Chain A
Amino acid sequence: MKLKEELETIGDNLYVYAYLKADEDNRISEYQELGQRIGAVYAQYSAATSFIEPELLAMSGETKQNFLKSTPELDEFRFYLNDLERQKEHILSQKEEELLAAAGPMAQTASTVFNMIDNADLKLGTIIDDEGKPLDLTWGRYSRIMEESSREVRQAANDTVQVQYLKYVNALAATLSGSVKKDLFFAKARGYEDCLSYSLDGNNISTDVYYNLIDAVNANLEPLHKLTALRKKILKVDTLYTYDMSVPLGPKSDKKYSYEEAKEMLLKGLAPMGDTYIKDFDKGLSSGWVDVYETEGKGTGAYSWGTYSSHPYIMMNYTDRLDDVFTLAHEMGHAMNSYYTNSHEPFQYAGHALFTAEVASTCNEAVLMKFMLERVKNKEEKIALLNHYINQIKGTFFTQVMFAEFELAIHNHVENGGAISVDYLRKTYRDIYQKYYGPDLVIPENNDLTGMKISHFYRQYYVYQYATCYAAAQMLSQRIIDGEEGILDTYQQFLNTGTSKYPVDILKDAGVDMTQPEAVNRTLQLFSDLVDEMEKLLSEG
């Protein structure tokens, strides 16, 4: 029997049950207690089993091979064990490893302090809304304001939030600096050339992937500049500020999509993904996977979650907006991916590396978008779709590459002996920000603090994968729509695979080579075409 698998499946079931129930209505404390109890026992369990990996690492390659031979049931661990062997040259002596492990909790300090400032100490502030009433800002409200409120309220919200961050600016620079130094410490201790090689080696990803992405985007920033200029013209402002950047362009479309309509659109729009996919998708929608509507006390946002033995669960807060339709497509993409992976991979490979995790979700959105754009009847709806599409590429692709470039710059700076000061961080962020969005954007005085606000920078070199996933998904979705021979089998294989191979190889098997610039260039071309189309539509008057 596989004790570890059985135990962890039970542990996961206990954990997921508690948190899903708690998210149904967080006013009921019973389930929060269950969550705390299982959390504590799970931590005990993890501590008790934490010896496994170091012990396997300590085995010689020969012992491992004998171990595999003598215990045939372990064959499915071959990839895992070989991967440990691959990283062996960066494993230190037992004493050194013990020291590094003991330093682990201490190394979390920068990140912990940042989170304390960001989540506990810092309040976003209060503004006066369009009705003249005081409004306490939350990130949810902030993003709505940036899309929908008057310019005065947008400016007030922006300035209020930035001033709150300004109060903590020295501490924020210090924590980010501490985090980069931590990254460098571990990279050097393990004998890596730099932080990037260290970070990407975990999943055996070549640094070419990272550099290619940044280079390709830097060579193709004109469409983004063009969009900024178009925005300035359409909004008819003398100066375009950062708080003007999320307002939808063109006439507003109030089109509503009921949940039933959304389901129907998804089943029709995703038809190119094949009968099997649609059949399973439809079954999922009608088998209690989705928690659809916003109710009192329910968790916010949207996610897909589950365990190895359960079906997927999708949290939604569906409000009939176009965005909700795409969020459903996105989360169902994750859910279907997990559903297939759980039934095709053994337990230990049933997760997904982030490098592949956002492909299935984004691919669904892309296939649906292409279907809707082809069928759209009136101009307002078409503009609304283009707004959504362009914003998505801006947020999921360009912004992430911009962040990736900033992360690379500050790591290189420290690697070359530089010191991270407030001024250095502000100037570096401002320069990159300006370079991406072009001369028509005016960055207000305190909006260069953003580089110090991103919690993901405390997980080095993480966000670029949103951009690579986006590019890979776009390429796959186009091939699915074009009905390329064999693509459905290839894509199914991709959906079935978890972590039993390296993520770059999984995508290569699906025909997308992220070590080459093709996929990234295609997304850049797509964005350029969309901006041109938007410009044409809006200039027709």
Chain B
Amino acid sequence: MTHLFKSSLKSLSVLMMIALLLLSSFAFADDGKIPQRSDIDDQYKWKVEDIYPDTETWEKDFEIFKTVSANLNSLRENFPSQLLISLLS
């Protein structure tokens, strides 16, 4: 059972639970038998578009996140406690 823990955690402040039974649903790669994603009916797929409809929208948020993250450092150097309060409250 030692392979139970072979999973790697993608841990940010994001929730992620990895199944203990991670590998029990593994199937042998049977050539030609595994369908393509496009063969699967949409009702059996998760809707990642509920987070971002497309990569363009992702890029917009990415720019915001990148810019603010880069400015946190200078803000911290100049007004450390002010930043603390504005971050938390």
Residues of A within 8 A of B (CB): 2-4, 7-8, 10-21, 24-25, 30, 34, 37-38, 41-42, 44-46, 48-49, 51-52, 55-56, 71, 73-74, 77, 139-144, 246, 259, 286-298, 300-307, 310-311, 313-319, 321, 323-324, 326-327, 330-331, 334, 338, 350-352, 357-358, 361, 394-396, 399, 450, 453-456, 463, 466
CB distance from B67 to the nearest CB of A (A): 10
- Chain A hits for B50, CB < 8 A: 288, 310-311
Cβ contacts A to B, 28 pairs, < 8 Å: A2-B88, A7-B68, A14-B62, A17-B51, A17-B52, A41-B69, A51-B76, A74-B88, A140-B23, A141-B26, A143-B26, A288-B47, A291-B44, A298-B37, A301-B18, A302-B21, A303-B18, A304-B16, A305-B16, A306-B15, A307-B14, A315-B46, A319-B27, A321-B25, A327-B24, A361-B19, A394-B1, A456-B5
Complex CA gap A144/B61 in Å reads 43
Query: Contact at B37–A24, with CB atoms within 8 Å?
Result: yes
Query: Contact at A19–B10, with CB atoms within 8 Å?
Result: yes
CB distance from B18 to the nearest CB of A (A): 5
Query: Contact at B17–A305, with CB atoms within 8 Å?
Result: yes
Complex CA gap A361/B15 in Å reads 14
- Chain A hits for B73, CB < 8 A: 48
Q: A4-B88, A318-B25 are in contact. Are A12 and B13 (CB under 8 A)?
A: yes
Q: A8-B13, A304-B17, A358-B20 are in contact. Are A49 and B25 (CB under 8 A)?
A: no
CB distance from A498 to the nearest CB of B (A): 9
B23, B35, B48: the one contacting A21 at CB < 8 Å is B48
Complex CA gap A291/B34 in Å reads 15
Bin chain B's interface residue count.
Answer: 35 or more
Q: Across the interface, name the chain B residue whose C-beta is closest to A326.
A: B21
Complex CA gap A395/B2 in Å reads 9
Chain B 61-89: CB-based contact to A (< 8 A → 1; otherwise 0): 11011101110110010001100111111
Query: Contact at A338–B15, with CB atoms within 8 Å?
Result: yes
Nearest 3 pairs of A and B residues by beta carbon:
A288-B47, A140-B26, A139-B3
- Chain B hits for A2, CB < 8 A: 87-89
CB distance from A258 to the nearest CB of B (A): 11
- Chain A hits for B17, CB < 8 A: 303-305, 331, 334, 338, 357-358, 361
Complex CA gap A143/B24 in Å reads 7
Complex CA gap A17/B10 in Å reads 13
Query: Contact at B65–A14, with CB atoms within 8 Å?
Result: yes
CB distance from B62 to the nearest CB of A (A): 6
- Chain B hits for A321, CB < 8 A: 25
CB distance from B17 to the nearest CB of A (A): 4
- Chain A hits for B80, CB < 8 A: 51, 55
Q: A15-B14, A48-B73, A361-B17 are in contact. Are A395 and B34 (CB under 8 A)?
A: no
Query: Contact at B21–A74, with CB atoms within 8 Å?
Result: no
Complex CA gap A45/B67 in Å reads 10
CB distance from B21 to the nearest CB of A (A): 5
Name which of B17, B22, B35, B70 has the most chain A CB atoms within 10 A of its CB: B17
Complex CA gap A288/B19 in Å reads 19
Complex CA gap A24/B47 in Å reads 11
Q: Across the interface, name the chain A residue whose C-beta is closest to B66.
A: A41
Complex CA gap A42/B51 in Å reads 18
Complex CA gap A529/B1 in Å reads 23
Q: Across the interface, name the chain B residue whose C-beta is closest to A28.
A: B37
Query: Contact at B70–A44, with CB atoms within 8 Å?
Result: yes
- Chain A hits for B65, CB < 8 A: 7, 10-11, 14, 38, 41, 45
